[in-house]
Amino acid sequence: MISWLCTRPVFAQAARAALSGPKLAHVRISDATMSPWAGHDGVTHLFVTGQLDSANVARQGDVVVCSSSASNSEVQRAIDILKAETGTCGSWLRISQNAHQATAGDPDGNVTLHYVEMNSTGQLTLTDSLRYLTHALTDFAAGIGGNPALPRILVLGLGENAVPRLESALTVSLATMTAVYVNEVIDLATNYSDVRSLTEPSRPSSLVPAPDGSLAEMPAFEPRDFVAWGKSVLLVVPTENRQKVELLHRHVQRCLPHATIQRLTLKADSGVGEQPYDEAGIAGAYNRINAALDSLQSKTCAHILVSKQIGTVIVGAIENFVQTKNGDSLPTDHGIIVLHNATQSKTVSCLTSGVTIAPEYVDRARRFGFVNGNQSHGRITVGQIMAAHLGRGLDKADWQKTLAKVSRYQLLAEAAQALQLPL
């Protein structure tokens, strides 16, 4: 039996709304404002959901998970799996809420999960950003009562205050998010056989040819005016992924062996979430290039064009995505490479060979929701789900190397060799 103690009525309402079906028989929900929790016979774990004052230290709207469970318990194992799957991303907790609703702490509606561990001496281990919440968490845990040896999992939303019964929009949001988290942990703990099925792919990953070129057709970019200040080439790559930058640089240098190549990397959001699906792959590459073109209009970039004697500006982007619209075929990961000559308004693109994916990993990744409700813009990558369940030293950013025996960067390099520069 699992006991779930809620510190306010709104949290109890959210808890009852989150649970359904057979789980209700294994979970007992209590409202601490109605009666103090004195423990229940046969209880193996105690979940507590409530709200803590953020104390202007952590961001309002975030969620703290503090666990004192035994490391070998099914509940703790479920928490560890969930942490491996989603990391500090807590935005999936907003799945059941308005996709465009923002938290008080982040106007984009992003939520960070903060994991806090309780060691064998009962002391809390906090990140620096949460260290001032130590006393609040300790007092909160001490006030629960009941059997102190009972494994406890505190899932607490960070709000503007801790006044009971104050049900602001933020409090209601926190109640829903903490309930979604606890429900997911209970699902994993009580259906562990389903989780075990993810420890071995149902279908092996294999290489497939690049799809029809029509999938790589890009919308036209708005022309920009660039003055030729010399004969050097400026390669602009809107990503912080070093391997992608190096790959594009080598390709341009190989195509223009006698040219002076200057390189500029920019930070740009793809706008398609962490895991693009289907047409979002092209959209992500387009958005990165478009953002780079906008950045090149700044005074700082204008100075670079003059000082480096730039005559040609080429912007390159690489975006991997999962193609799910394959008829009866398996989901497949492809990469798209786009090179845009901003000086002459010419664009070329190509797709890499693909690597098939066992569908259960895509299904699991999609379970954690989408950015702004767009089902092509996944919040959690398929690679992160694979890494959480398969282990084996699998790199979430290059799972292809382990499962298909070929790195995705090798596939990108092979595709780039056939791509002519847009000159």
The whole-model pTM stands at 0.87
Give the pLDDT of residue 118: 61
Q: Is the pLDDT higher at 360 or at 373?
A: 360
**What is the band of 122 on the pLDDT scale with cuts at 50, 70, 90?**
very low
- Rounded mean pLDDT of 294-313? 94
In a domain, 187, yes or no: yes
Looking at mean pLDDT, say which of 141-145, 170-174, 281-285 comes out highest: 281-285
Give the pLDDT of residue 377: 97
In a domain, 146, yes or no: yes
Residues 140, 229 within the same domain: no
Write the pLDDT tens digit of every residue in 304-336: 999 999 999 999 999 999 999 888 889 999 999
Give the pLDDT of residue 139: 52
Give the pLDDT of residue 107: 43
Residues 168, 240 within the same domain: no
Neighbour-count burial of 371, counting CB atoms closer than 10 A to its CB (0-12 exposed, 13-18 middle, 19+ buried): buried
Q: Is the pLDDT higher at 353 or at 218?
A: 353
In a domain, 21, yes or no: no
* Average pLDDT of every residue of the chain: 85
Show the beta-strand stretches assigned E in 332-420. 332-341, 346-351, 354-356, 377-378
In a domain, 252, yes or no: yes
- The residue from 141, 170, 197 where one domain ends is 197
**Distance in angstroms (rounded) separating the CA atoms of residues 177 and 95:** 9
Residues 185, 215 within the same domain: no
Residues 184, 264 within the same domain: no
Residues 187, 227 within the same domain: no
- The residue from 157, 177, 197 where one domain ends is 197
Write the pLDDT tens digit of every residue in 401-419: 999 999 999 999 999 999 9
Encoded tokens for 224: 């920009």
Residues 120, 225 within the same domain: no
Give percent above pLDDT 90 in the chain. Answer: 58
Write the pLDDT tens digit of every residue in 214-258: 767 888 999 998 999 999 999 999 999 999 999 999 999 999 999
Write the pLDDT tens digit of every residue in 57-108: 568 899 989 887 555 588 888 999 999 999 999 999 986 544 334 344 444 5
Give the pLDDT of residue 164: 52
Give the pLDDT of residue 37: 58
- The residue from 174, 197, 220 where one domain ends is 197
* C-beta of residue 152 within 8 angstroms of C-beta of residue 144: yes
3 state DSSP class of 249 = helix
Residues 190, 310 within the same domain: no
- Rounded mean pLDDT of 201-213? 91
Indicate whether 128 pLDDT > 50. Answer: no
In a domain, 366, yes or no: yes
Neighbour-count burial of 283, counting CB atoms closer than 10 A to its CB (0-12 exposed, 13-18 middle, 19+ buried): buried
Indicate whether 55 pLDDT > 70. Answer: no
Number of domains in the chain: 2
In a domain, 103, yes or no: no
In a domain, 51, yes or no: no
The residue length of the chain stands at 423
Give the pLDDT of residue 58: 67
Give the pLDDT of residue 398: 97
Q: Is the pLDDT higher at 148 or at 396?
A: 396
Residues 288, 256 within the same domain: yes
Residues 370, 222 within the same domain: yes
Residues 276, 347 within the same domain: yes
3 state DSSP class of 246 = helix
Give the pLDDT of residue 140: 55
Give the pLDDT of residue 129: 42
Instruction: Report the CATH number that the domain containing residue 348 is assigned in CATH.
Output: 3.90.950.10
Q: In which domain, by residue range, is 242 found?
A: 206-418
Residues 219, 126 within the same domain: no
Give the pLDDT of residue 100: 36
Roughly how many angstroms between the first and final C-alpha of the chain, as a whole number?
68
Closest CA to 78 of 246, 195, 245, 169: 195
In a domain, 289, yes or no: yes
Residues 278, 381 within the same domain: yes
